[in-house]
Structure 1
């Protein structure tokens, strides 16, 4: 139960009936102590409800803080990985192939800081045990000592040492049924 005090105020009237009593437009009591006392009484009587609302608010803040921290950590980790691998921002592909003059023209652009040419081939292969199944392959000529952009990140094994070895993706291993 909330007890309210009656607050009276004298309003300014156009006929100035109360011009001589000096209480025009002033409140006789302030509302701040009444609101404060009413809030304290409500908290004392309904402390369980207040605690539940406080816990809900704290859980909401904790969840939002966790989401923010997780997003920030993922952004920083991704940025670090891209910096470590020197991932490129733009890839230019030509069906007829790019010439050395094309690469030189790209290097001459003022907004380009680094250019690296790369040869790649696409092929479709069939598994040795099942002629009906096929999987796509993308061959990329990769010389580690000459590679500055878009470096590889090995999860398992070593870099190829001769032409009979290759680096493969997990998807290739899954599709082909091969293993390392």
Structure 2
């Protein structure tokens, strides 16, 4: 019984060889695609982890609409499983330009900040109160050059 069944299978493959090769190619592509995805995920996770470690990126982000007191920050620093705490201020504002306004996030930065170190691609870090660092994605979309004066507003925040 088995030999007749196998003979029938091979006979069918022989008569429809092109279809068999096409199905085999589709299956091989699918297997290769899934294997690639499975192999890529750990590598991407490792690359992101190395990047985050090299820039001392935060592990946890706490946000409060009312803000945190120094006592809150001190209580977090006392936790055994927390290595460093960095308290900062952020502000949502509007960037005014010729084409209109764009919502942006302003983040405070300190020279002695040890967490969330930005990667400087061009220029230098701010040295005066009226200077800032701009995310590279914004420079491409808004045509902002180093040394340009930016006009910010918090009217609609």
Q: With structure 1 as the length reference, what TM-score do the two structures score?
A: 0.62
In the other structure, the counterpart of 1:109 is 79
> Where do 1:130-149 residues align within 5 Å?
133-144=100-111, 146-149=112-115
Larger relative strand fraction: 2
Structure 1: which 5+ residue stretches go unaligned?
1-30
Q: Does 1:161 align with 2:127?
A: yes
Distance 1:35 1:136, change over 3 A: closer
Q: Give CA-to-partner distance per residue, 1:82-136, whole Å, 9 cap, x none.
A: 2222222332234444232211111223443321122344444544x68xx3344
- In structure 1, C-alpha distance between the alignment counterparts of 2:59 and 2:108, rounded to whole Å: 20
Deviation at 1:33, TM superposition (A): 2.3
- In structure 2, C-alpha distance between the alignment counterparts of 1:108 and 1:53, rounded to whole Å: 62
Q: With structure 2 as the length reference, what TM-score do the two structures score?
A: 0.68
User: Cα RMSD between the aligned structures?
Assistant: 3.0
- The count of corresponding residues between Structure 1 and Structure 2 is 146
Deviation at 1:179, TM superposition (A): 1.8
> Where do 1:1-180 residues align within 5 Å?
31-124=1-94, 126-127=96-97, 133-144=100-111, 146-170=112-136, 172-173=138-139, 178-180=144-146
- In structure 2, C-alpha distance between the alignment counterparts of 1:65 and 1:155, rounded to whole Å: 35
- In structure 1, C-alpha distance between the alignment counterparts of 2:78 and 2:28, rounded to whole Å: 56
- In structure 2, C-alpha distance between the alignment counterparts of 1:96 and 1:55, rounded to whole Å: 60
**Which is higher, the Rg of structure 1 or of structure 2?**
1
